[in-house]
Chain A
Amino acid sequence: MDFYQGNVLRIDMGAMTSAVEPLNMDWAQLYIGGKGLLLRYMWEEIPPGLDPWSAENPVFLMTGPFAGTNVSTASRLVVGCKSPVTGVLNDSYVGGSFAPELKFAGYDAIIITGRAARPTVVTIKDDVVEFRPAEPKYWGMKTSEVEEALREDFDPKAKVLSIGPAGEKKIPWACVSTDQYHKAGRGGHGALLGDKNLKAIAIRGTGSVSVGDAKAFLADLRRIHEQYVLTDDNYWVHEEGTPILVDLVNGAGAFPTRNWSEGEFEGAGNLNSESFQKIRIKKRACYQCALACRNFHGVEQGGEMVRGEGPEYETIALCGANCGVDDIAALMRFNELCDEWGMDTISTGSVLGLAMDLTEKGIKDFGVHFGEVDSYLKAPELMATRTGIGEELALGSKHLAEKYGVPELAMEVKNLELPGYDPRGTFGMSLSYSTSDRGGCHMRSYPVGDEIITGDEPADTMEGKAAYNINGQNFSSMKYLGIWCDFWAIDLDQMSQLLKHVWKRDVTEEELALAGERVWNLGRLFNLREGMTAADDYLPELLLTKPHKRGPSAGRTIGKDVFAEKTMEYYQLRGWDENGVPTEEKLAGLGVDVRL
């Protein structure tokens, strides 16, 4: 079979067994790969209403058809589950080299169920799957340590997917790591793997991925790369990477500062792209990516060098400005600590910013203050190990703010902390967050792109933003079937040129647009089935009603009424009823093959 391996590896942690079964190719036709296949498997495999913490709740590792080929950026892996944090679907994407290695080992996907009696490491060498005790050696290790140890003990060329100590302690924002700096960050997959007592999967694949006529494919890819990937429009990815956003977003008054109390950070100039370029050592790439967006930095902090990839924009926003920290070396260290302990930086920075806010407002003294670096750098370990203040912070923003009677201070949607764009400076992001299928997330639709980066859309109106977000969500869904990365500004025509090689026929842009919308609707059905309602499509009220006092976005608010009106418009344009439920007509038109 070309592009697909046709195999799914099932791992039962409870029974310590594995089995291989054929990939459902009917679903692959309809849902292609990545997000689509993931959601279709989730629909089938997760009993409706399942407690996310039950041992039965599977964690899925899904690839796309192009992983393990020369198609730029398509090496991404999606880690999926019914999130123990949000109670709805969570698809979290990660680069690095794990997905291609999984393909070379002969699988398109892994489905992990059950809970091991003892901490365990799984090793996979092609068709040999082994379960090894994680104690005493691996359990408790930080992410770089467990990767290194498994390369030493199992295979020097192994690719490792692991959790840090935060995952072992089931911190709600524990992430899944691979190649050290690459994180499937959001939604608590790390906590779920910790609950399964699965510390790491090390994989080595020596097989092949077929693509039909390889020489013809190579020749076509050279053309596609030259025409569409290595273009001036994509060049910022290599030249600067995501820190380019700091000046842009700060300049728009949308940079979350000191727990979202301001939209402009006076210290942003110390954390912008120019500042990071001064400490850049090297450019790094994910597997099979010509763009190489990753920046490897080095700087002295506290008398010792801190070296590593990142931080990326969201980390700079949430762990920098949102904590009032403009010390680039401290931020580098903080990022390293989050990587090593295995925590998502968006939620870590958000929860810590909230704790600083509660402290400064005199509501509860957590001993952390905006801009105060010593306590800031001690926080990640406390949070990851549930010690000291970490015990309470592990509640996450929503429950922590509720506990202290100030729910309005929690910046989350569906219990997932918001990333680094304040909707008061970019109105379209309000609906992007509220209607995102996995909760507070910026990767489903991205009005920032036109409201801030290109300036093609006005940032201070909700007119047209329902449609804008719908288009963005459908398009991202299609892109995440590939699985292409956001940093290649790919379009449907380019996707069709690539998928032509997979399906051995001409592919139209229309059918791909339909595939994206189909997947988005499937996700909505899943969330509704699991108990979500229209009431969950909310935005923190403060972001709608309380204007910033100063900065570029001062005085602007969306207002609750307009937001409610636009939410209804969003449902209507989606072909959903007033409760946000897809109509039969819509589902039939899209060819969605399941029903509530």
Chain B
Amino acid sequence: MPHVMISSKKCTGCHMCELACSAYHEGAYRPSVARLFADVNPTTAEIKGHTCLQTACAKCQDVCPHDAIVTKRITIAPKGDFASKEKIGDSVEGYALVVDESKCTNCGECYDVCPTGVIHEHPDRHVAFKCDLCDGDPQCIAFCQNKYVLAVDLKVDKMDRELAGA
């Protein structure tokens, strides 16, 4: 499925993606609850991006005892220029795994299995929170992709495209 990836090589460690993500979802800048993050070692400049692979992983959905991780069909149309645009065009159909907060009991099963560490307990609402691709306009991409830096990008593989019927 279309999902967001951070290129460790290209990432400059500016954290713009985390900032935009948190502002969009939380209504205020709070990168400690961003849905993606880049681990940056300031001394060595080693950077590791952490993002949700959506249905390409789906371990959270598999393990959830309450069916609280729901597959949601979504049209993703990042605004402006981005590196994958050539491959994808202006938009791509896909699925996002989203949390149904009415079903989530904060049991924590998904927190333990997430391979990239991007599903957590929300510090205020005490339910799981995760990347939902911003209703199709991922803010992380919007605030990263430019002619200088092309680190946070939308990835789509062949199988995903078939699945989405694209």
Which chain A residues have a beta carbon within 8 Å of chain B's beta carbons? Answer: 68-70, 96-97, 104, 144, 147-148, 179-181, 205-211, 214-215, 217-218, 221-222, 225-226, 230, 235, 238, 281-292, 294, 296, 307-309
At the interface, yes or no: B117 with Cβ under 8 Å from chain A? no
Pairwise interchain contact B24-A214, C-beta atoms closer than 8 A: yes
Chain B residues in 8 Å Cβ range of A221: 143
Pairwise interchain contact A284-B12, C-beta atoms closer than 8 A: yes
Q: From known contacts A181-B42, A209-B29, infer whether A218 and B20 are also in contact, taking CB-CB under 8 Å.
A: yes
Which listed residue, A214, A289, A307, touches B14 by the CB 8 Å rule?
A289
Shortest B50–chain A CB gap in Å is: 12
At the interface, yes or no: B54 with Cβ under 8 Å from chain A? no
What CA separation (Å) do A205 and B18 show in the bound complex?
A: 14
Given contacts A235-B148, A291-B148, 5 further A-B contacts (CB under 8 A): A144-B43, A209-B28, A285-B13, A288-B16, A307-B44
Pairwise interchain contact B20-A287, C-beta atoms closer than 8 A: no
Pairwise interchain contact B16-A70, C-beta atoms closer than 8 A: yes
Chain A residues in 8 Å Cβ range of B123: 206
Q: From known contacts A97-B15, A148-B43, A282-B45, infer whether A206 and B32 are also in contact, taking CB-CB under 8 Å.
A: yes
What CA separation (Å) do A208 and B25 show in the bound complex?
A: 12
Which chain B residues have a beta carbon within 8 Å of chain A's beta carbons? Answer: 9, 12-16, 19-20, 22-24, 26-32, 42-45, 79-80, 123, 139, 142-143, 146-149
Pairwise interchain contact A290-B43, C-beta atoms closer than 8 A: no
Shortest A327–chain B CB gap in Å is: 23
Pairwise interchain contact B14-A287, C-beta atoms closer than 8 A: yes
Pairwise interchain contact B43-A211, C-beta atoms closer than 8 A: no
Which listed residue, B13, B14, B31, touches A104 by the CB 8 Å rule?
B31
Pairwise interchain contact B149-A208, C-beta atoms closer than 8 A: no
Shortest A149–chain B CB gap in Å is: 12
Chain A residues in 8 Å Cβ range of B12: 282-285, 292, 294
Which listed residue, A179, A217, A292, touches B42 by the CB 8 Å rule?
A179
Pairwise interchain contact A285-B14, C-beta atoms closer than 8 A: yes
Chain B residues in 8 Å Cβ range of A296: 45
Pairs of residues from A and B, 6 with the lowest C-beta to C-beta distance, nearest first: A208-B30, A285-B14, A179-B42, A285-B12, A208-B28, A292-B12
Which listed residue, A179, A208, A217, touches B26 by the CB 8 Å rule?
A208
What CA separation (Å) do A106 and B43 show in the bound complex?
A: 26
CB closest chain-B residue, reference A298 = B45
CB closest chain-B residue, reference A157 = B32
- Can you list 16 residue pairs at the A/B interface with Cβ under 8 Å? A97-B42, A104-B30, A181-B42, A206-B30, A211-B28, A215-B24, A218-B23, A218-B142, A282-B12, A284-B13, A284-B45, A287-B14, A287-B15, A289-B14, A290-B149, A308-B43
What CA separation (Å) do A180 and B40 show in the bound complex?
A: 12
Which listed residue, A68, A226, A287, touches B80 by the CB 8 Å rule?
A226
Chain B residues in 8 Å Cβ range of A285: 12-14, 149
CB closest chain-A residue, reference B144 = A290
What CA separation (Å) do A70 and B139 show in the bound complex?
A: 11
Pairwise interchain contact B32-A205, C-beta atoms closer than 8 A: yes
Q: Which has the most chain A C-beta neighbours within 10 Å: B9, B27, B29, B149?
A: B29
What CA separation (Å) do A205 and B29 show in the bound complex?
A: 12
Chain A residues in 8 Å Cβ range of B29: 68-70, 104, 208-211, 214
What CA separation (Å) do A230 and B43 show in the bound complex?
A: 27
What CA separation (Å) do A537 and B28 show in the bound complex?
A: 46
Which listed residue, A148, A180, A288, touches B19 by the CB 8 Å rule?
A288
Chain B residues in 8 Å Cβ range of A238: 148-149
Which listed residue, B23, B26, B146, touches A70 by the CB 8 Å rule?
B23
Chain A residues in 8 Å Cβ range of B19: 68-70, 288
What CA separation (Å) do A208 and B29 show in the bound complex?
A: 5
Pairwise interchain contact A96-B42, C-beta atoms closer than 8 A: yes
Pairwise interchain contact B43-A180, C-beta atoms closer than 8 A: yes
Chain B residues in 8 Å Cβ range of A284: 12-13, 45
Shortest B94–chain A CB gap in Å is: 22
Chain B residues in 8 Å Cβ range of A292: 12, 14, 148-149
Chain A residues in 8 Å Cβ range of B139: 218
Shortest B92–chain A CB gap in Å is: 20
Chain A residues in 8 Å Cβ range of B32: 104, 205-207
Pairwise interchain contact A222-B42, C-beta atoms closer than 8 A: no
What CA separation (Å) do A96 and B41 show in the bound complex?
A: 12
Chain B residues in 8 Å Cβ range of A206: 30, 32, 123
Chain A residues in 8 Å Cβ range of B16: 70, 288-290
Shortest B61–chain A CB gap in Å is: 27
Chain A residues in 8 Å Cβ range of B42: 96-97, 147, 179-181
